[in-house]
């Protein structure tokens, strides 16, 4: 620190004492305007591997206000280029410069556009992406569109492009044509194209016919889902939208869910059931992954809400794995004894096993009817499941012997011995 800078040594000591930031804030603010030069000198020092002290210096300098503090903040933005720093320090200084830009964009000054342009193109700061939307800097739209293939900034860039409105559609379509010409195996370009399409779709934009046809020839389920968002006549649209709703890209999933809810229940039920049977989806890289518990639960709930009839549900139970079928029966019946019992006559043996699984979660008063039916079922697998799953539920209840006696021609104790 230059010894001629007033309070320079004290400011260094206060800021570097990371354990006592309140002391630093109070002491430096008490200096008033005399702290400006010392704070600028602190930011001119070599960047550190942790950003906290330098970020605090930025905040305190910004609080001074006035043209002088603003000019020193601008100097700090351009000082210490990130590409000349080692990785650990670069990441730390990236945070500092993002804070600097956050403070700068609170003010209107002649060089603000140049600063945001530099922060966007060279530094690639998240705060710069946000500033483009806040200040309506449509001239920087091409830079934002290019960021749609940046995994870190793509989400912010997409939100900003949506905020800028239809004026950026021409730039989006220009990039789209180039990205869609890349091989479909190029995941980065495919994801960039998908994000650009979702920006258009969110605003209700339309695609030129050649681009729509090109999407129709793509095999990845996510791209087919995006195409179905634009084209209501898309083949098997419900199934495609459900697959999109299960994608691990949040924006695509939400758009597909909104579009799919507008379809008739009967169409949605078939598509949802197919997804449950598949129990897996393709990720961004084309690899098949099992559904996460949350997506599986969403599917079960949606199927429950679109079931056209008890007969359709009973038939579907036999196709699903036992656990999923039991969940579905439970959701649909909401624990109602009569509802579960009515399904029994429509279900095949696998479906009846699922109903027994569901019944064990409903308590005695709800589940005993299905369990007693299972004990005397014509299918051996159903009887075996009833014996295995029903013992504790039925015979621990004081009323159980009476119900077993009524339901069978043998004494209840004899049935109990067979179950044991």
Query: Coil, helix or strand for 272?
Result: helix
Could you identify the residue written with the tokens 């305190």?
60
Rounded Cα–Cα distance for residues 287 and 291 (Å):
12
Q: What is the mean pLDDT of residues 31-43?
A: 92
Alpha helix stretches (DSSP H) within 65-186: 66-78, 87-104, 112-118, 126-134, 141-146, 154-164, 169-180
pLDDT tens sequence across 168-225: 999 999 999 999 988 988 999 999 999 999 999 998 888 888 888 888 788 999 999 9
Pairwise pLDDT comparison (340 vs 349), residue with the higher score = 349
Q: What is the pLDDT of residue 366?
A: 57
Instruction: Determine phi and psi for 319, rounding to 5 degrees.
Output: -90, -25
pLDDT tens sequence across 142-157: 999 999 999 899 999 9
Question: Does the structure show a pLDDT above 60 at 414?
Answer: no
**Residue 369 CB coordination number (10 Å):** 17
Tell me the pLDDT band of 365, cut-offs 50, 70 and 90. Answer: low
Q: What is the pLDDT of residue 405?
A: 46
Q: What is the pLDDT of residue 93?
A: 97
Question: Does the structure show a pLDDT above 60 at 262?
Answer: yes
Could you identify the residue written with the tokens 């922060």?
119
Q: What is the pLDDT of residue 261?
A: 92
* pTM score above 0.75: yes
Least confident range from 88-92, 166-170, 192-196, 345-349: namely 345-349
3-state helix, strand, coil in the chain (%, to 5): 70, 0, 25
Name the residue ranges covered by the structural domains of the chain: 1-104, 309-420
DSSP string, 342-395: HHHTT--HHHHHHHHHHHTTS-HHHHHHHHHHHHT-SSHHHHHHHHHHHHHHHH
Q: What is the pLDDT of residue 420?
A: 42
Question: Does the structure show a pLDDT above 50 at 415?
Answer: no
Relative orientation angle of helices 337-344 and 310-317, to the nearest 10 degrees: 70
Contact status, residue 375 vs residue 403, Cβ threshold 8 Å: no
Question: Does the structure show a pLDDT above 50 at 352?
Answer: yes
Question: Does the structure show a pLDDT above 60 at 406?
Answer: no
Q: What is the pLDDT of residue 364?
A: 55
Rounded Cα–Cα distance for residues 38 and 393 (Å):
76
Q: What is the mean pLDDT of residues 233-258?
A: 93
Q: What is the pLDDT of residue 147?
A: 95
């Amino acid at each position: 620190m230059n010894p001629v800078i007033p309070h320079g040594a004290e400011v260094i000591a206060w800021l570097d004492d990371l354990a006592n930031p309140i002391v630093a804030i109070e002491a430096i603010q008490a200096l008033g305007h005399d702290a400006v030069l010392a704070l600028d000198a602190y930011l001119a020092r070599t960047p550190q591997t942790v950003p906290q002290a330098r970020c605090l210096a930025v905040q305190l300098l910004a609080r001074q206000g006035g043209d002088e503090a603003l000019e020193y903040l601008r100097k700090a933005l351009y000082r210490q280029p990130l590409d000349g720093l080692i990785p650990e320090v670069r990441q730390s200084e990236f945070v500092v410069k993002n804070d600097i830009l956050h403070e700068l964009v609170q003010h209107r000054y002649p060089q603000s556009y140049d600063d945001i342009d530099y922060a966007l193109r060279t530094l690639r700061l998240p705060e710069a992406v946000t500033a483009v939307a806040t200040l309506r800097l449509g001239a920087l739209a091409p830079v934002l569109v290019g960021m749609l293939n940046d995994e870190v900034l793509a989400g912010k860039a997409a939100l900003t492009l949506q905020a800028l409105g239809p004026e950026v559609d021409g730039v989006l379509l220009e990039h789209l044509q180039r990205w869609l010409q890349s091989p479909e195996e190029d995941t980065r370009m495919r994801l960039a194209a998908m994000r650009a399409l979702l920006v258009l779709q969110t605003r209700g934009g339309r695609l030129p016919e050649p681009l729509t046809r090109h999407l129709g020839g793509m095999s990845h389920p996510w791209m087919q889902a995006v195409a179905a968002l634009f084209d209501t006549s898309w083949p098997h649209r419900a199934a495609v939208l459900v697959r999109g709703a299960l994608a691990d890209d949040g924006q695509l999933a939400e758009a597909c869910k909104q579009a799919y809810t507008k379809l008739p229940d009967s169409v949605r039920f078939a598509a949802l059931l197919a997804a449950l049977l598949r129990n897996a989806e393709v990720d961004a890289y084309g690899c098949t992954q099992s559904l996460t518990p949350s997506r599986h639960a969403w599917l079960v709930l949606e199927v429950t809400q679109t079931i056209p009839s008890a007969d359709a549900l009973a038939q579907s139970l036999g196709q699903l794995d036992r656990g999923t079928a039991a969940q579905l029966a439970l959701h649909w019946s909401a624990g109602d004894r009569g509802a579960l019992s009515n399904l029994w006559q429509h279900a095949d043996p696998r479906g009846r096993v699922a109903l027994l699984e569901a019944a064990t979660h409903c308590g005695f008063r709800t589940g005993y009817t299905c369990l007693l039916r299972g004990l005397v079922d014509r299918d051996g697998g159903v009887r075996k499941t009833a014996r295995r799953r029903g013992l504790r539920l039925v015979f621990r209840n004081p009323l159980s012997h009476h119900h077993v006696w009524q339901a069978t021609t043998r004494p209840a104790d004899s049935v109990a011995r067979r179950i044991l």
